[in-house]
Amino acid sequence: MPNTQKEAGLGDINARFKVYIANRPNFADFQTLQTIKSLSNAEITAIGKACGNGWRKVFNVYAKLVFALNSETLVPLRQSDSWQGFRDNLLLSKGSNTSLLFTEPKHSNKGIQLVMGKTYAKSLGLSLEWINHDFAIEAKSGIIVCPYFDYRQLSNIKIITLVELIKQQNATLSSSEL
């Protein structure tokens, strides 16, 4: 059954690189946010300061992943020379093609959709094919399940694995959109 719920979260309303998370930062009106709110670079810093190290890690790992992906067709880096530069200037901003969503994924086969965390993914009732202990794909929608965006759970070596899965998924999407 398709999900008809409107998306809510942070980032670019037109993002094709979507990450779904089970929790929301306890910041501003985010607990009741019903839309997608683009962030400025100062807001990411403010959320990290107000909400703690866990949220700083989410933003850092998200930026590291996008920077490692290095795919201008998926997420324009706009000449960012480091993942920190991307995080500070582009991540989750209008036109960044990135979003962090608090609602359930839509089973659309459009763009890249990552579900952060095995426990959250299992709660969604997805039909998952586990690739290994850390990663799974729902074949019909192409949703990728990955470890939570934390340095220990999604380490640099696991980011490399995730980048390869995203590239494979993007190649599948590109060929099906022709």
pLDDT at 2: 46
pLDDT band at 110 (very low <50, low <70, confident <90, very high): confident
- The β-bridge partners of 73 are none
pLDDT at 125: 92
Cα dihedral 136, 141, 142, 144, rounded to 10, equals -40
* Cα(92)–Cα(100) distance, integer angstroms: 7
Residue 78 contacts residue 108 (beta carbons within 8 Å): no
Report DSSP letters for 140-161, one per residue. Answer: TTTEEEE--SSTTTT-HHHHHH
Query: Is it the case that residue 174 has pLDDT exceeding 70?
Result: no
The residue ranges of every structural domain in the chain are 9-173
Catalogue the long-range contacts made by 48-51 (C-beta closer than 8 Å, 24 or more residues apart): 50/25, 50/26, 51/25, 51/26, 51/27
29 burial via Cβ count (<10 Å: 0-12, 13-18, 19+): exposed
Percent of the chain residues topping a pLDDT of 90: 76
pTM of the predicted model, to two decimals? 0.92
Q: Residue 69: how many CB atoms within 10 A of its CB?
A: 20
pLDDT band at 26 (very low <50, low <70, confident <90, very high): very high
* Cα(132)–Cα(34) distance, integer angstroms: 34
Percent of the chain residues topping a pLDDT of 70: 93
Strand (E) or helix (H) holding 11: strand 9-11
* Cα(143)–Cα(165) distance, integer angstroms: 11
pLDDT in tens, 44-74: 999 999 999 999 999 999 999 999 999 888 8
